Chain A
């Protein structure tokens, strides 16, 4: 009996196809993993440089980047935050000028609705955070200083809440270590 007419041929073939695809995906993942991580590290470094143009070097401790200028003066802090958006996690890089004021924020990755929620990556939304005190990082309807994007309240408040809550946590952690 030929293999291709056997009753078991479909099962065997499907098994082989799935096996090959798993092998292919694992192989690609292993090969690309290092590069993807490098790229993300580079991306964060580039973003820090953009946020703090005076930055010369930084140290990373307890997931908080402390940034120094060329004259060794401390010019700010930065850390990552995750917000629960409409389409999944929103990964945000937050820069602080000092313990009370936001310097700037930028979105590292997001999967919000194209054309609606993904406008959180636009400068007209993000620039609103520049120089705002941490306590005022709330939507205007909640007594804060940030305008929500029309039609994208969930995405907007996800960013705003993630920034405020994470910033407060990190500032607390900073003051705890410095004591």
Chain B
């Protein structure tokens, strides 16, 4: 049990996927434009990462080293496709709100990264903890990044359609650059620099 919690907390800070491992930047750039998008992506990643970590941890002893990457990719892609179809058929409301994020996860290298670096070497319980921890870490990173991007780029912070607060002046003349992908690079770089400088996240 101690090990479970250790693996879980590790994913949030020490190996935070975005700020420490610097993985999954492509989806991070794409979805960190608003808090809603960040939450949608998090839900998708949780489903897929949990599923793929469990399956890969289960079959890890049967998979020979030379074909492990293709096997992992097939497992992940199958998982995403099946979940996509099931959601579309049985939980259309969730499918609607996750929309593009589910298929995007196939190219999310966090999932393959965790399969390769963790689940293929560890038992199921640790792999589950790892999946949850990494997802929380990813969520935290997305929320922080999208907070700054939404604030600077649109002047409004809203969650689930409700406007939490508006920054006077920015709403009328937002810095559109921050909504564009190049703005995401700026925000991520500044945050990374800040975290390294203060020593919160160490290599």
Q: Are B89 and A24 in contact (CB under 8 A)?
A: no
Partner of A17, one of B37, B74, B89: B74
Residues facing A in B60-102 (CB within 8 A) are 62-64, 66-67, 70-71, 74-75, 77-78, 81-82, 85-86, 88-90, 92, 99-101
Q: Which residues of A contact B31 (CB under 8 A)?
A: 114-115
Q: Are B82 and A25 in contact (CB under 8 A)?
A: yes
Partner of B180, one of A4, A10, A17, A116: A116
Chain B interface size, as a band, is 20 to 34
B120 beta carbon closer than 8 Å to chain A: no
Q: Which residues of B contact A14 (CB under 8 A)?
A: 67, 70-71, 74
- Complex alpha-carbon distance, A14 and B65, angstroms: 12
Q: Are B67 and A111 in contact (CB under 8 A)?
A: no
Q: Are B88 and A36 in contact (CB under 8 A)?
A: yes
Q: Contacts A18-B74, A115-B34; is A32 near B88 (CB within 8 Å)?
A: yes
Interface size, chain A (Cβ < 8 Å): 28
Q: Contacts A13-B63, A36-B88, A115-B33; is A28 near B82 (CB within 8 Å)?
A: yes
Q: Contacts A10-B64, A35-B90, A114-B100; is A25 near B30 (CB within 8 Å)?
A: no
Q: Which residues of A contact B92 (CB under 8 A)?
A: 39, 43
B111 beta carbon closer than 8 Å to chain A: no
Q: Which residues of B contact A25 (CB under 8 A)?
A: 78, 81-82, 85
Q: Are B176 and A21 in contact (CB under 8 A)?
A: no
Q: Which residues of B contact A111 (CB under 8 A)?
A: 99-100
Partner of B33, one of A17, A18, A114, A150: A114
Q: Are A9 and B64 in contact (CB under 8 A)?
A: yes
By beta carbon, the residue of chain B nearest A37 is: B89
Q: Are B67 and A32 in contact (CB under 8 A)?
A: no
Residues facing B in A110-155 (CB within 8 A) are 111, 113-116, 118, 150-151
Q: In this complex, which of B31, B62, B78 has the most chain A Cβ atoms within 10 angstroms of its Cβ? A: B78
Q: Are B179 and A10 in contact (CB under 8 A)?
A: no
By beta carbon, the residue of chain A nearest B179 is: A115
Q: Contacts A28-B86, A114-B30, A115-B33; is A21 near B179 (CB within 8 Å)?
A: no
A29 beta carbon closer than 8 Å to chain B: yes
Q: In this complex, which of B75, B92, B101 has the most chain A Cβ atoms within 10 angstroms of its Cβ? A: B92
Q: Which residues of B contact A150 (CB under 8 A)?
A: 176
Query: Sorted from nearest, which 3 A-B pairs have the closest CB atoms?
Result: A115-B33, A32-B89, A21-B78
* 18 A-B residue pairs with CB within 8 Å: A4-B64, A17-B71, A18-B74, A21-B75, A28-B81, A28-B82, A28-B85, A29-B85, A31-B89, A32-B90, A39-B88, A39-B92, A87-B100, A115-B31, A115-B33, A115-B34, A116-B33, A116-B179
Given contacts A11-B67, A35-B89, 11 further A-B contacts (CB under 8 A): A13-B64, A14-B71, A14-B74, A17-B75, A21-B77, A25-B81, A32-B86, A36-B85, A43-B92, A111-B100, A114-B34
